[in-house]
Structure 1
Amino acid sequence: MSVILAIESSCDETSASVCVDGVILSNVIANQTIHEAYGGVVPELASRVHQQNIVPAVHQALSIAKVNKNDVDAVAFTRGPGLLGSLLVGVSFAKAFALAKNIPLIDINHMQAHVLAHFIGDHKPEFPFLCLTVSGGHTQIVLVKDYFDMEVIGQTLDDAAGEAMDKTSKILGLPYPGGPLIDKYARLGNPDKYQFPEPQIPGFDFSFSGIKTAILYFIRDNVAANPDFVQQNLNDICASVEKRIATILLNKLSKAAKEYGIKDIALAGGVSANTGLRESLRALCEKNNWRSFIPKLEYCTDNAAMIAIAGYHKYLKGEFVSQDVAPLARMPL
């Protein structure tokens, strides 16, 4: 039997999970509300709150899983990419726990873990498959050949899709975090009311800087003519922005799937929690007779369960790291 304790602290969620023989028994996520007053994550504050949350989160994860700390066989942790101060808290805790218990350490790439979240539960894609990984900091199309054999075949050349949504929410005057609010209002709006441009980038790469600028100018010009424009049309604006971002993402994904001849299509990352994107992916796959795979909502945003399942597969291969391991703010897939 293998018991894996997993730690995730790459940004502003402190999370701990317990995995036994590939089955997730707990997934505790402690969110940080302190950043709401600043309209975004403040790295120094995030690392301080991680220090406050990590011991209670681990204790709760072990308690829910009904696992004694002395029965843990290995500790998996997010090594990167992420905020260096936040990563340092998780890495330090994992190293201390492993040293105290004389058990192995397993370092995990955060972006690989998002992809491997699809192996939690029974509905799993078959290799090779394509995974569109979308978050506030990353937008990638990944060709997944095996658990740890992944190739990025397309990525953003500038801003991430999640960052474009966050910027839009700020332009609209929505409180942080704005992504879920755009999703909420978009459900009530007409996605065809306003048209925003689609970048013409060759290959499978993305660009979102242009659409951010287009949205900014669109709101500026319309508010100049009507100060109440945003308030009167908020639902339609959110629906139209969401649709354009989704079509930018899925047009590239569809192109890649056809070129590579792959029929198992997956979606991962924090933005994969967006209702419109999830529905659009399902519709695209149904139209092309492809199989779609989207994790449960609790496994879309940053969480330790995805670290745990990735750690489990590394544990089976005996891939461990030593106590001199250090966090990496930038860590290629």
Structure 2
Amino acid sequence: MPGHANTGIVRNSPECYLPNSIQATARLMTDRLTILGIESSCDDTAAAVLRREPDGDTQILSSVVVGQEALHRDFGGVVPEIAARAHAVKLDGCVVDALSEAGVSLSDIDAIAVTAGPGLIGGVLSGVMLAKGLSAGLGRPLIGVNHLAGHALTPRLTDGLPYPYLMLLASGGHCQFLIVRGPDSFSRLGGTIDDAPGEAFDKTARLLALPQPGGPAVEEAALSGNPERFALPRPLLDRPGCDMSFSGLKTALLRQRDQLVEAEGGLRQSDRADICASFQAAVCDVLTVKARRALKTYLNESPAEPAFAIAGGVSANQTIRASLKALCAEHDVRFTAPPLRLCTDNAAMIAYAGMEQFIAGHRDDMTLTARPRWPLDRSVAPLIGSGKKGAKA
């Protein structure tokens, strides 16, 4: 392995996480590292190459994402079997394209990071098997990465946030408040007990005959709507803690739509805009109130450089982002949101999470398994429910 022949790295160990000696880790910190990342947890097939220079500067040399929207459009959601077959077909090409775009060859790769869960098991398995083959063939270390850790660590890649920081991960499959303490250390303060907010946006769009993905479509329609016309519920705000629920909100919206259709013989464009605006306001209120509670818990720990980050596709919603940004300004807390291309599923975040774990001495061997569920915080009970993008972690 170029540059690492004498670092003391233990490969193919039975343990999932085997720390190197302090001296070996110190040498890694002064070496250039080139990491290949592979992501296939849902309906995006992705590969990326990331490089960390000896001075700590980290660059995304390439990031290739191949979507599957056309394959699933007629089914109203992601079909696991179709997604798995598409990953198996496209993964090799994504890796080749990522290497070409980065201007490197396989021999330049120092380690291989791959999403090992949570997600749709067929897709995760496709990525893990490819990564294992590359690891065995090249003799390079293998790092299995939690997909959610990839999202949670992205603000360190884009903004250099120091540990610990507060994170809201809000996407089509997940919604959690996390205190991020290290590359493999997370404290979950709360999360959705049913639908994720992105899933609720997508279902709202389908109920209102808006195009997919639902988030941008609902947000655009809401621009001309009245957010106060319909009194939609704000679930769980009357209960303490940071857990959330969006399933009842979606049901209330369905009933409101049906009432309008029955009373007016159809749904006018203005009605659709008002429903979207009212729905968006309800989601925003829930996330903001719960974020206030999470922020209070986080600030009670007196972090040296308090920061709040959001990631996931829902973070692109400007109304939600503005509300959370104002909340952070109120508490004099740094607010950050990675670029949208790094908030949705991608392999650059997996490569970065793998790099942090690689430097910390984490390694996997050929016993690495694909996991449909994989909670970041293993000290608390798992979240219940299952979204359109896989089981909740």
Fold conserved (TM > 0.5)? yes
Q: Give distance in 2, aligned partners of 1:324 and 1:255.
A: 40
The CA deviation at 1:189 is 2.8
* 1:204 alignment counterpart: 242
Unaligned runs of 5+ in 2: 1-31, 53-57, 377-393
Q: CA contact under 8 A between 2:201 and 2:214: conserved in structure 1?
A: yes
Following TM superposition, by how much is the alpha carbon of 1:231 offset from its aligned partner in structure 2, in angstroms?
A: 3.0
- Which residue in the other structure is 2:373 paired with? 330
Match of 2:164 among 96, 108, 128: 128
Whether contact under 8 Å (1:13, 1:303) holds in the other structure is yes
Q: Take 1:280 and 1:150, find their aligned partners in 2: how far apart are those partners?
A: 25
**Matches of 1:256 and 1:69, distance apart in 2:** 43
Match of 1:241 in 2: 279
1:101-153: per-residue Cα shift (whole Å, max 9, x none)?
Answer: 111100000111101111223x2323221111112221111011222210111
Residues 277 and 124 of structure 1, relative CA distance in 2, 3 Å threshold:
farther
Q: Secondary structure at the match of 1:201?
A: coil
| Matching of residue 308 in structure 1 with residue 351 in structure 2 | yes
Amino acid across the alignment from 1:34: L
Question: Which amino acid is 1:92 matched to?
Answer: M
TM-score with structure 2 setting the length: 0.81
How far 1:259 sits from its partner (Å)? 3.3
Q: So what's the TM-score if we normalise by structure 1? A: 0.95
The answer for the alignment partner of 1:105 in structure 2 is 142
In the TM superposition, what is the alpha-carbon distance from 1:280 to its structure 2 partner?
Answer: 2.0
The equivalent residue for 1:52 is 89
Is the CA contact 2:156–2:162 (under 8 Å) kept in the aligned structure 1? no
After superposition, residues 289-308 of structure 1 pair within 5 angstroms as 289-308=332-351
Distance in 2, matches of 1:201 and 1:207, equals 11
Cα deviation, 1:178-228, whole Å, max 9, x if unaligned, reads: 222112222333333332111233211111121111111111111111133
CA deviation after TM superposition for structure 1 residue 55, in Å: 1.5
**Aligned pair partner of 2:62 in 15, 26, 32:** 26
How far, CA to CA, are the matches of 1:331 and 1:303 in structure 2?
A: 18
The change in CA–CA distance for 1:126 and 1:227 in structure 2 (over 3 A counts) is farther
**Secondary structure in structure 2 of the residue aligned to 1:184:** helix
User: CA contact under 8 A between 1:140 and 1:156: conserved in structure 2?
Assistant: yes
Q: Which segment drifts farther, 197-206 or 291-300?
A: 197-206
Identity, % of aligned positions: 43
Separation (CA, whole Å) in 1 of partners of 2:204 and 2:170:
16
The correspondence for 2:110, drawn from 70, 73, 78, is 73
Matching residue within 38, 41, 48 for 1:10 = 41
Could you tell me whether the CA contact under 8 Å between 2:253 and 2:275 is conserved in 1? no
2:384 equivalent in structure 1: none
> What is the rounded CA distance, in whole Å, between the counterparts of 1:227 and 1:112 in structure 2?
48
CA 141–230 in structure 1, closer or farther in 2 if over 3 Å, else same: farther
* Structure 1 stretch displaced more, 300-309 or 282-291: 282-291
- 1:244 to 1:86, Cα distance in 2 relative to 1, 3 A: same
